[in-house]
Amino acid sequence: MESVFVQKLAAEDVDGDCEPILNHNKHITDKLHNKDENFFNYAKTLSPAALELELRSLVTIDDLSLFINALSRRLLSHRDFEAVQALQAVFLRFASSWRNCCHVVVN
The reported pTM is 0.71
- Where are the chain's structural domains? 4-106
Lowest mean pLDDT among 23-32, 41-50, 85-94: 23-32
**% of the chain exceeding 90 in pLDDT:** 19
How far are the Cα atoms of 18, 68, 74, 100 from residue 37, in angstroms, in the given order? 15, 16, 9, 34
Task: State yes or no: pLDDT of 52 exceeds 50.
Answer: yes
How far are the Cα atoms of 21, 23, 37, 49, 78 from residue 61, in angstroms, in the given order? 23, 27, 23, 23, 26
